[in-house]
Amino acid sequence: MARILIVEDEPDIVLSLQEDLRRQGYQTEVATDGEQALQLGRDGVWDLILLDVMLPKMDGFDVCSELRRAGVATPIILLTARAQEAEKELGLDSGADDYVTKPFSLRELRARIRAQLRRTSRNNEQTCRFGDCEVDFDRAQLLRSGQPVDITPQELRLLGVFLRNRGRVLSRDQLIEAAWGHGMAITDRAVDTHVFNLRKKIETVPSEPKLLIGVRGLGYRFET
């Protein structure tokens, strides 16, 4: 289930977006000003961010460039009342992937969302190589030097989260949220156990990891 962060300060739009996106099977959370958006965008693990441009505290363009500067590579769709400005900003360096002009139709927005999610899943998932490993997410298969390795669906989900966020330190809370689901009662120790098991499957020397690196006091990072 894809996780979408909705950044919008108009309650009516928030309500209709939330309702529609949930009906499409997406998991959603909402930020209602620029600062909150920056914080949630940076700390959370999202598959897509819908970002209103006119926001209290900090505008959407600035939020977008700050997120990119912080290494967040999540697709961002701007919601803007000013198409020309959005075009200009997209061409510059705010780093958004697409924009939709207000007032927009939900149908149009859904199509744009699907297009972005397809694009990233093509880039990041299906098959993915690192070290001597190859993961095929469609077939739920891990190959090591061409040989199949047993991997559980949960380990595969966790690996997917790491691969989509290469180079980023992910806290145990972020990993639980993204790989198990919001509000799941998973302990930090259970996360560590899964990482430990994953290392045995992907690392050359599991006790000296070169891919799945532990970052003391913070969490884990998948080396790029």
Q: Closest separation between CB of residue 31 and Ca ion, Å?
A: 12
Instruction: Please identify which residue in 52, 66, 97, 177 interacts with Ca ion, judged by CB under 5 A.
Output: 52
Tell me how far apart the alpha carbons of residues 209 and 140 are, in angstroms, rounded to a whole number.
23
Q: Which residue has the tokens 């899943």?
A: 121
Kindly tell me the burial class for residue 109, based on how many C-beta atoms sit within 10 Å of its own C-beta (0-12, 13-18, 19 or more): middle
Q: Closest separation between CB of residue 102 and Ca ion, Å?
A: 8
- Contact between 9 and Ca ion by CB under 5 A: the answer reads yes
Q: How many helices (H) and strands (E) are present in the chain, helices listed first?
A: 8, 12
- Contact between 58 and Ca ion by CB under 5 A: the answer reads no
Tell me how far apart the alpha carbons of residues 142 and 151 are, in angstroms, rounded to a whole number.
7
Q: Which stretch binds Ca ion (CB under 5 A): 3-11, 105-113, 131-139, 167-175?
A: 3-11
Q: Closest separation between CB of residue 9 and Ca ion, Å?
A: 5
Computed on alpha carbons and rounded to an integer, the radius of gyration of the chain in Å comes to 18
Beta bridge mates, 7: 31, 51
Q: Closest separation between CB of residue 18 and Ca ion, Å?
A: 15
- Contact between 54 and Ca ion by CB under 5 A: the answer reads yes
Q: Which stretch binds Ca ion (CB under 5 A): 8-16, 108-116, 145-153, 166-174?
A: 8-16
- Closer by beta carbon to Ca ion, 13 or else 163: 13
Tell me how far apart the alpha carbons of residues 17 and 7 are, in angstroms, rounded to a whole number.
10
- Contact between 47 and Ca ion by CB under 5 A: the answer reads no
- Output the residue with the shortest Cβ distance to Ca ion: 54
Do residues 50 and 104 make contact, with C-beta atoms less than 8 angstroms apart? no
Task: Tally Cβ neighbours within 10 Å of residue 10.
Answer: 15
Binding characters for Ca ion, 143-162, by CB under 5 A (x = yes): --------------------
**Which residues bind to Ca ion, rule: CB under 5 A?**
9, 52, 54
